[in-house]
Amino acid sequence: MDRKISRRDACPFCGGDLHICCNCRFYDPGAYNSCREPQAERVVDKERSNFCDFFVFREDPKEGAGGGGKSRNALEDLFRKKD
């Protein structure tokens, strides 16, 4: 995205809120309060719009979310059935 996401911005396709924890690059379910930004205030509902000043829209869907795609891909490769 080439602009800052505001609290009221919504997805043009589904109408869902964009300024939510799950869309932030600091979101990490394994971290304290599910956030890697130590100064951020606690947000209870991670899937609703919020006022967090540290929000940075996550461009890469593999970024954030508990260590990103690298860890998940490594686990999938480890347990993938060999034909």
Query: Which tens digits make up the pLDDT trace of 5-62?
Result: 899 999 999 999 999 999 999 999 999 999 999 999 999 999 999 999 999 999 876 6
Over residues 57-82, mean pLDDT:
66
- What is residue 70's predicted lDDT score, i.e. its pLDDT? 59
Q: Which two tokens stand for residue 22?
A: 């799950």
**Which residue range(s) make up the domain with 44?**
1-83
pTM for the full model? 0.68
Instruction: Label residue 70 exposed, middle or buried (CB < 10 Å: 0-12, 13-18, 19+).
Output: exposed
Domains: count for the chain:
1
How many angstroms separate the CA atoms of 62 and 44, rounded? 23
